[in-house]
Structure 1
């Protein structure tokens, strides 16, 4: 239910979605013993001619809708 509410926030605003995911994390922390046994490590290279690139910890493409060609903004 919380996950469904988080993904259905109008506009997908991360700040408005965060409380749902924080509550999910709290429930997992309180109720389920777990250990993450894997993670992702990698390097990202990109051309300085692009604006808005902000690689996140889980996905390089999470904000692709904000990328823009810097030469078009002059």
Structure 2
């Protein structure tokens, strides 16, 4: 029998905004570097995103040179 443990994590949207600001990047720069849409980043940074694909967070984390875990909370 295989057992899989799933955990639910919350994304710390504020950290994304702060890390972008620390790099002095505009939203447009992060959008281009991460390969995501303007609407997606707006919803993430505003904290209005209902569901965010982990692949999107991976792209943002890579662009900001941070591990994905840095943006996750239990």
TM-score, length basis structure 1? 0.25
| Structure with the higher fraction of residues in helix conformation | 2
TM-score of the superposition, structure 2-length normalised? 0.25
Q: Which is higher, the Rg of structure 1 or of structure 2? A: 1
